[in-house]
Structures are given as C-alpha cells and as structure tokens.
A and B are shown apart, each in its own frame.
Chain A
Amino acid sequence: MKWTRQGKLVNGPIYGLMLVLLLVGSFVQMNQTYPFWRKNYMPKVTDLGQLTGEQLLFAFAGFREMIAGILWVRADSFFDNGDYDSILPIIRLVTYLDPKQIDVYATGMWHIAYNFTDQENRADRRNIPIAVAFGEEGARNNDYTYELFYETGWLWYHRIQDNFPMAVTWFEQAAERKDILPARHNLLSHAKLRAGDYKGALKTWYELLEEAEKEMERNKSQRSNYAQRDTVEGNLDNLLIRLTQRGYFARENGWYDQGNYDTKPPFDVKFSASVTVTESRVMLVEGTWNVFPVGTRVKMILRDADYPNAGAAGLDWEGGDANNFSAPVGLTYVQDELFVRNRRFRKSIDLSRDPTIYPFVKDKYILEFYYTPRVAPEHIKDKFGYNGEGMTDSNFLNTEIRENQRVIYWKTEVTRDQILRRGEFGMEGVIPVFKTPNYVAPRVRNPEDDLVTPGTRRVEG
C-alpha cells in the first residue's frame, strides 16, 4: 500500500524514543518515587481482607484515610463496653490503611499492653511483646514525631519494668524529635536512673535545667516554663541529696567504707515464700518480707519451662510480631505482684476462669520470685539504693541474673499435674506446696518483727 504524507511520523526513531522514555520512567519510579512513596504514603495491604468489598474499593479509590477514620470511630462503642477482642482487629486494620494515625497506634499499644488480659488477675504478659512491636512499627512509620517513641519508651519504663536501658533508648529517640513537649524530657532522666546510670541521669537534669531556664527567658509570660524549671530543679536537688546520702559520690571517691551512709549496712529482707495449689489452677501465695514501710511489690512469675526467649524473671520483650495481634496460643506466662503489708504478703491467684489466657498445656513450669529495688518507691530506695547496695538476704540474694544489681531471686520447678491437681496430685489430701526452705507458717503475731526506719541523718563527707 502506498500512502505517504509529508510530515508523517517516522516509526523507528519514535519507537526508540518511547523505549528510552519507558526506561527513564521506570528508573525514576524504581529508584526515586516508588521507594519514597512506599516509605511515606503507602497503606499496608497484607490483611485488608478483613474489609468488605465496598470498603476495599473505597479505600483504593482514595478514601482509605476516611475508611480508617470511620473504623476508628466505630471502635468507640467497643471501648465503651470493654470489648477489646473486637477493638484489636480494628486497630490493626486502621493502622494498615493509614499508618500515620498516631492516636490509633498509641491507643492500640496501650490496650494491648495493659488491658488485653483477663479482668480477674491481669497477670498475663504474653501480649506485651506484641505491644512493643506495634509501638516500634508506629514509630517507624511516624518517625517525624516524638509521640510513638515516647509511648514505646513508656511501655519499657512503666509496663515492662525489666529492661530500663531500652526505655532510655526510646526516650532518647523521642528527645531527638523537635516536637517533644519540654516536660516529656524529664522521664528520660528517671529512666536513666532506673537503668542504673545515675551519672547520665544527673547530666540530663543539668541539661534540662539549662534548657528550661533558656526557655523561661525566651518566653516569660508562659507559666508552664516556670513550672518546668521548678520541676527540673527540684528533681535535680533531690537526686543530688539522695546520691549523697546513699553514698554514691563517696563510693566514687573511695571513702564509702569510712562514711556513714543510709545504705550501710545492708539490710536483710528475710524473704521466704510458699505457694499452695489449693484447687486446680488456684494458688495461695504467702511469704515474708521484713520491710515494714509500705510500697514493696515482690514479683512472682509462673511460666512454661520452655517459654520462648524467657530468661530469669523475664523474657525477650522485643520478640513480638505486630502483624499478628493474637497472643501466642498454648503458652502460659503469669506474672503477678505481691504487695507487702505488715512484712507479709498473701494473695490467692485464681487462674481457672480463662483457660485461653492461662492454658497450662505444657508439662513443666518455672515458678520464680524476684525483687529489684530499682522499681521501688524512693523511701525504700533510700535504704536499698538503686542497685540493691543496702539490701541483702541470707538465702536469696542474687548478683548474677541482673548485671550490677543485687536482687532477690528464687526459682523452682512445677509440673502441670501439680497446677491442675491431676494424677497423684488429684488425690484427696495430696496438696502441692512449693516453699522456700526457710518458710515458716505465720503466727498471728510475730514479736521479733523489726522496724526499718529510713535514715535522715546528716551526711558526712
């Protein structure tokens, strides 16, 4: 066929040009735009199967934030009646659809960490690694703001209370973000102290004081600036006094041995404990703790002997998977706190109500008692010090399971039959009891009770 027109496009070069352009476009996409978009704007689609068809279509038609918003609004009603089982999938879905919904992350991790357990005992800890992983995901997705770094740090600081250097790491990352509120810096210093880094804590207080004073100068009409300055100053003063009284500066200067400090001599807490399995899955925990002032909480843990990544009186709190919000099935991790009153603790723990939360399907279990003064109230730390310098126990002092800390620790093995009162333990009159060798059943009144009064002496040196 003959058909020529002047100005007719010539094929070859145009195909070539199109190919070149396609390569350029692909290059821009693969190297520039797509990675950036994925990092900053993309919704996660892995589990969007939970959406209905229309919701999915809407979500992709540009309404995904709206769907996320509406779902979150719907979650409100579940909050009202405490239906946490229904909230979790919504939280997961909303944050997949819109990973920038900070509030949902913050609320979600809070609920997973604190509320997603049985109402009765609140002793299940299997969900905490999930909450941590979720917080990490949120922080990763929103690294422009301090909020989720701070919230994740809070979990380590307040909920886990077992690995304060992690709290410090997260609070430090929060502090790097410019939008952090001044008052929220303070927790970093507290966390450093609990992590055993009193020098770091002091340094932070000094820096915060300097910052607070500058801020006050900058804006004199802002009342909160004065409040922050005063808070920091008060905290710094207190810390200096306590460090002095508890002999930390003396220790550093090498005259601790000569001086008279609150932490001297170490006080024997005389720990003993007994656990009686009164019924299947019901335990009566009793024991002694020779400290009279209120504020002591002894930690008790009952877990599978082979619980994944578990260590002495704790586990790998970072091992969670935020993509799967359901707690590990078939595992048991009970952690409870025994409040000391009148130098005793006594608590009945009933784990029979919810076998999905406390399944007890494994054969062997570990029962642990653990105490560290790091989480103790200040008046107790006045005697025990930050690392347990002023604390001892003739039977259960342990200096190995926690680096640079003197803690109280006892552990024993338990079997499933004992907990469930089965087999030989199911027989009439056979009652499993686990107790420290020094445990003595309490009388009504013990005349040998000692009183411990925190020191208020002037400090020498």
Chain B
Amino acid sequence: MSLAIETIDLVKTYKHRGGASNTVVDNLNLQVESGEIFGFLGPNGAGKTTTIKMLLGIIGQSSGVANVLGREAGDIEIHKRISYLPEKPYYYEYMSGLELVVFYASLFGIRDNDRCKELLRRVNLANDMNRPLSTYSKGMQQRVGLAQSLINNPELLFLDEPTGGLDPIAHIEIRDLILQFREEGKTVFISSHELSDVERICDRVAIINKGQLVAQGRLTDLLAGGRVEVTAEGVSDAVSQSLRHENRTVSFKDGRLILDAPDSDDLNGMIDALRNGGAQVVSIIPRRKRLEDLFIEAVAEDDTAKGRQRGRMTDGNSDGTVSTEVEEVKTGEGESS
C-alpha cells in the first residue's frame, strides 16, 4: 500500500529573540497509509497542530521531509486533493451554511450549487442550509465544516479535533461520517483527544509527546499485550512458588491466590500446574489493554504530569498560542532554505 503521508525526521523549531529556541516537533517519522483512518494523539502542546500545519504547507518545517500524497507538503497541486477541518473554526457568521460551502467551492473553481446542497444534505443540514451560521449549534457548525471539507472530493482529509465539544449524538453522527469516508477509499488523518472515538474508528495511531513520536502502529498491535488474572483456591506453597516468574505477580487474598500474568504467557501451562497441584481454579479473567492505557503508558515515561491527563485530553489552543507568541520572530525564517 502506498503512503498517503510520510514524514522523515521532521523538525519544527521556533527561534526566540535572544537566541533561545523551542523545538515543537522533533524528528517526527510518520507513515500514513492510503485508505486508512489514522489517529494522531498527544497531550497539550505535543505538536499535533504544528505537524498538521506543516503537512498542509501553512508553515514550513525547520528540517526533515514531509510528503503528502507523494509530493512535498505545501504543493499547491496537492491542495486540490486534500482538505482540512481545523479545530473549532469560526466561519463567516453572516453567511448561511449554503453560502459558506459555495464560497469554499469557489476556491476550487467549482460552481456547482447542487453539489454543495448535496453535501449539506449528507451532513444532515438539508433543512438548515439557508440559515445564517450564527444560529448554528456547535455540532451543526462542525458538520458544515465537514461539508465544506468534502467539496473537492478529497483523497486525504485532515480533521483536527473533529468531535471536540460535541454532544454524544453529534459524536456518533460525525463518527459515522468518518467511517463512510473510509468506505469511499479516502484517507482520514484525525487529531483527536476523544480516545474512545479514535479507538473505535482508527486503523492505526501515532502518539506524540513533546514533539517526539512515542508509539505508532496498528491499533490491534499496539493494544496487544493484555494481561490475564487467574484466581484459584487451595494452592500449595510449592505450586505458588513455581508460578512466580518475571512479569507475573502472585498475591493472596482471603486465602485465594491471584496470579496476574501477561496474556502472552502459557496460560494452559499455568492452569495445568495449578490443577496438578490440587488447586481449584475459580476464575480466569482476560484484561485487554485499552488505548487509554497505551496512551498513558506512552506518555508516562518522561511526562511528569502523568496523572493529570487521564481520560479526556484537551488539546485546546496550546499549539496555536505557541505559534502566535513567536510569530514575529519567525517571519522571514522560512526564506532560508
């Protein structure tokens, strides 16, 4: 399968006045295959939005390579084949949904009102397309954003926090739309803090922290390595000693043995050992790894704020803020090549 996105040692460094510099994206190597839904995860300020901006050519990289659909990122020809839904965009509020989509269509040179209406129908805005955007709810705005992002029938969609701040029903609607995109053969690159959504729909994910890639791979592979918990009664000391092994914990509670082992271990062997030792197996509970665990695990290594980010990760404005603060210094930086 060909790669929709590939970055090789991609680096983005902002230089500040006085010589200090701040590396936002650090030697990032991403591979996104065509036709997959790719989840791009990371805590606040990890460099997710900066990476997307580099992939879109809105900002330039400091070093490294970023290829999108086989060409260098920022290539204007590529822009005809991709689309981007930024996080929480505020559109021109005076426009109606239809006007907005027509406007974005015109940027591609498309003058096809029927197609615009069709797209709005597809995102369930058929009845609201003539109302001004200022009267739209968040979910409707997000949907109209999706509609505009489909105008050029893109091969590759960048969705930055597509479900941020939406109610559960809106979540499901957006999630279903994204799944449809995959069925149509589109590649979807999602940066999201809604881990459960990503878990449900993504084929592969990459996790970055402080600009560095900490994990990347198929979700099933990354989530492999769950544990199993075996509870047994009447276990002799000798048996319990024989079960002790690295990566396993053996404990007793109310006279019962609780064995916690990686599911890659020989479960049958362990059960045989228990039964041969006269013990009674009470329960065998497999515990699969969840994306959340993976995420915490991946970020935990060098993140001092480990406990803080459990569950919902809000990416917020941090990326944007960083770039705004230093943009004066950055000007002109892009010209050296």
Contact = CB atoms under 8 A, between A and B. Distances in A.
Contacts of B74: 3-6
Contacts of B57: 5
Contacts, number: 33
Interface stretch (B59-67, B130-138, B176-184, B190-198): B59-67
B336 A7 contact: no
Contacts of A4: 72, 74, 337
Nearest to B62: A1
A7 B77 CA distance: 10
Interface in B30-77: 57, 60-63, 72, 74-77
A11 B63 CA distance: 21
B333 interface: yes
A187 B34 CA distance: 98
Nearest to B11: A1
Contacts of A2: 60-61, 63, 337
Interface residues of B, number: 15
Contact of B337 (A1, A6, A7): A1
A5 B75 CA distance: 5
Interface string A1-40: 1111111000100000000000000000000000000000
B60 A1 contact: yes
A2 B66 CA distance: 11
A1 B336 contact: yes
Contacts of B61: 1-3
B335 interface: yes
Contacts of B337: 1-4
A11 B75 contact: no
Contacts of A5: 57, 60, 72, 74-76
B54 to A, nearest CB: 9
A6 B78 CA distance: 10
Nearest to A2: B337
A5 B54 CA distance: 11
A36 B57 CA distance: 49
A7 B62 CA distance: 20
A12 to B, nearest CB: 12
A1 B77 contact: no
Interface in B314-337: 333-337
A3 B77 contact: no
Interface in B74-111: 74-77
Nearest to B13: A1
A11 B77 contact: no
B53 to A, nearest CB: 12
Nearest to B333: A1
Contacts of A1: 60-63, 333-334, 336-337
A5 B335 CA distance: 11
Nearest to A9: B335
A42 B194 CA distance: 67
A4 B60 CA distance: 8
A355 to B, nearest CB: 69
A2 to B, nearest CB: 5
Given A1-B60, A1-B63, A6 B76 contact: yes
Nearest to B58: A5
Most chain B beta-carbon neighbours within 10 Å: one of A1, A4, A7: A1
A7 B76 contact: yes
A37 B325 CA distance: 45
Contact of A6 (B63, B75, B336): B75
Nearest to B77: A6
A3 B334 contact: yes
A7 B57 CA distance: 12
Nearest to B335: A11
Contacts of B333: 1
Nearest to A7: B76
A162 B107 CA distance: 80
A100 to B, nearest CB: 45
Interface in B273-291: none
A290 to B, nearest CB: 96
Contacts of A11: 335
A151 B177 CA distance: 87
A8 to B, nearest CB: 9
Interface of A: 1-7, 11
21 contacts: A1-B60, A1-B333, A1-B336, A2-B60, A2-B61, A3-B60, A3-B61, A3-B74, A3-B334, A3-B335, A4-B72, A4-B74, A4-B337, A5-B57, A5-B60, A5-B74, A5-B75, A6-B75, A6-B77, A7-B76, A11-B335
Given A3-B60, A4-B72, 17 more contacts: A1-B62, A1-B63, A1-B334, A1-B337, A2-B60, A2-B337, A3-B61, A3-B337, A4-B74, A4-B337, A5-B60, A5-B72, A5-B74, A5-B76, A6-B77, A7-B76, A11-B335
Q: Which 9 A-B pairs have CB atoms at the shortest separation, nearest pair first?
A: A3-B60, A5-B74, A3-B334, A6-B76, A1-B336, A7-B76, A2-B337, A6-B75, A5-B57
